[in-house]
């Protein structure tokens, strides 16, 4: 049975699903009905790539593999421009340019047994591509969620629905998978930032 998490709540994945070795992290969002353009003045994107899609909101999921809470290098960032970590333990399943449709919009697969010991946590975030030039922010997004699925059984273990008003925020930490005393756990975070790109966001963990 899937556990519905609240912001700040933590859950043990290995206790929830004995023998767990691989999880699918599903991230989803919908564009809210347009009322006004809103927002502006955000940092411009320094990462190249991503789709334009006119005025559609293009959200890009990414994962940071951290050592003692710090990012050791850009090769530890898994995103649309680097779909698989060098260890093979974390893989981004591809970019969705619009977020249209039901279910997961983007997925990140984590092979827990293959994550090198030097990494103690894997942070999952989403940023809005070209947020500044498009005058877009997470206040224009609704139904955002992150969920974890046991890859063996395709059973959802937990889900965290982001229900706060994130107006003005252009990037978001949805949650993190981390090791603690030999267990893999998940932390529901839901923290917004005004970083205008993945490149700006990762400086927080330098």
On whether the CB atoms of residues 82 and 90 are closer than 8 A, the answer is no
pLDDT of residue 204: 95
Could you tell me what percent of the chain has a pLDDT over 70?
Answer: 85
* Structure confidence by residue, pLDDT tens digits, 25-53: 999 999 888 654 444 332 233 233 333 33
pLDDT of residue 96: 63
Which one, of 73, 87, 90, 79, lies nearest residue 24 by Cα? 90
pLDDT of residue 50: 39
| Number of structural domains found in the chain | 1
SS3 47: coil
pLDDT of residue 102: 62
Give the domain CATH number at 170.
2.60.60.30
pLDDT of residue 193: 97
In this prediction, residue 139 has a pLDDT band, given cuts at 50, 70 and 90, of very high
* Structure confidence by residue, pLDDT tens digits, 64-81: 999 999 999 999 999 999
* Lowest-pLDDT choice from 40-44, 106-110, 168-172: 40-44
SS3 161: strand
Q: When comparing pLDDT for 95 and 90, which is higher?
A: 90
Q: When comparing pLDDT for 51 and 83, which is higher?
A: 83
Which one, of 156, 147, 173, lies nearest residue 61 by Cα? 173
In this prediction, residue 93 has a pLDDT band, given cuts at 50, 70 and 90, of very high
pLDDT of residue 23: 97
The boundaries of the domain holding residue 155 are 3-32+41-48+57-205
On whether the CB atoms of residues 158 and 186 are closer than 8 A, the answer is yes
Mean pLDDT for 17-29 is: 93
């Amino acid at each position: 049975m899937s556990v519905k998490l609240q912001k700040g709540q933590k859950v043990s994945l290995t206790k929830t699903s004995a023998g767990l070795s691989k999880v699918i992290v599903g991230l989803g969002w919908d564009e809210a009905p347009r009322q006004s353009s809103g927002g502006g003045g955000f940092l411009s994107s320094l990462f190249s790539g991503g789709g334009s899609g006119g005025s559609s909101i293009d959200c890009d999921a990414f994962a940071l593999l951290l050592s003692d809470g710090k990012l050791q290098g850009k090769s530890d960032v898994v995103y649309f421009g680097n779909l698989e970590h060098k260890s093979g333990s974390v893989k981004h399943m591809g970019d969705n340019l619009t977020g249209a449709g039901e279910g997961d919009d983007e997925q990140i697969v984590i092979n827990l047994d293959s994550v090198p010991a030097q990494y103690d946590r894997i942070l999952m975030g989403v940023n809005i591509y070209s947020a500044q030039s498009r005058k877009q922010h997470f206040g224009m997004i609704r139904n955002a969620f992150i969920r974890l699925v046991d890859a063996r059984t395709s059973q959802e273990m937990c889900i965290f629905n982001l229900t706060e008003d994130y107006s003005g925020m252009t990037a978001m930490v949805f949650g993190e998978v981390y090791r603690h005393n030999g267990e893999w756990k998940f932390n529901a975070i839901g923290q917004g930032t005004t970083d205008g790109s993945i490149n700006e966001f990762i400086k927080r963990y330098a």
